[in-house]
Amino acid sequence: MQVANNVDIDSRLVKTDFGTWEQTEDEVNIVVDLLPFTPSGTKCRGKDVSVVATPSTLTVAVFKQQIVKGNLFATVSPSEMVWTIEDNKLNITLVKSLKGSNQCWTSLFQDGSHSADPWTLDNMRKQLTRERFQRENPGMDFSGAEVTGNYETGGPDLPY
């Protein structure tokens, strides 16, 4: 994932009871902190984790204890999902079905659970707009760009 130099990654992370999530134009990245769900003295391995994604749902279980379940905010491509365990953290990458800066998820699930607060959502939208500008103008550097104005829906429609 490419992140602009001047953007604090923490400003785009949504903190949850199980860890964090964030997004790019193309992906939703979820990090589950495994320590609270791992028996003392045990190291969590791939066989101890179950991650099941359909186009509209996500279910995560650790040591057969369900810790995440819900109808996703928007659809994903489950066949492109990737998950890894690293440093007692489960990293899940979901690929959005609808991609682009105007496809900003305001929460992880349709019921509004794990919603981004207004400040974080604003930073997410700005970053998605920067990513769009970078994709549309590969020879230019937008890493230091300040995004203002109409970016809530992915930025202005520019003539080509």
- Residue with more model confidence, 99 or 4: 99
- How far is the C-alpha of 23 from the C-alpha of 93, rounded, in Å? 9
Specify the pLDDT at position 158.
55
Domain ranges of the chain: 9-136
What type of residue is 16? T
- How far is the C-alpha of 148 from the C-alpha of 23, rounded, in Å? 20
Closest CA to 24 of 87, 90, 103: 103
Q: Please tell me which of 67-71, 97-101, 116-120 the model is most confident about, judged by mean pLDDT.
A: 67-71
Residue 125, number of CB atoms within 10 A of its CB: 22
- Residue with more model confidence, 10 or 92: 92
Give the dihedral of Cα atoms 128, 89, 53, 126; nearest 10 deg. -10
Closest CA to 38 of 113, 90, 112, 96: 90
- Residue with more model confidence, 55 or 138: 55
For the segment 79-102, the average pLDDT, to the nearest whole number, is 94
Specify the pLDDT at position 160.
52
- How far is the C-alpha of 50 from the C-alpha of 66, rounded, in Å? 9
Confidence check: pLDDT of 122 > 90: no
Partners of 52 in the β-ladder? 59
Q: Among the listed ranges 25-29, 31-35, 64-68, 154-158, which one has the minimum average pLDDT value?
A: 154-158
The predicted-structure confidence for 10-32, as pLDDT tens digits, reads as follows 678 999 999 999 999 899 999 99
Query: How far from 33 is each of 15, 20, 88, 89, 123, CA to CA, in Å?
Result: 11, 8, 6, 5, 23
Specify the pLDDT at position 5.
39
- 9-136 maps to CATH 1.10.3720.10: no
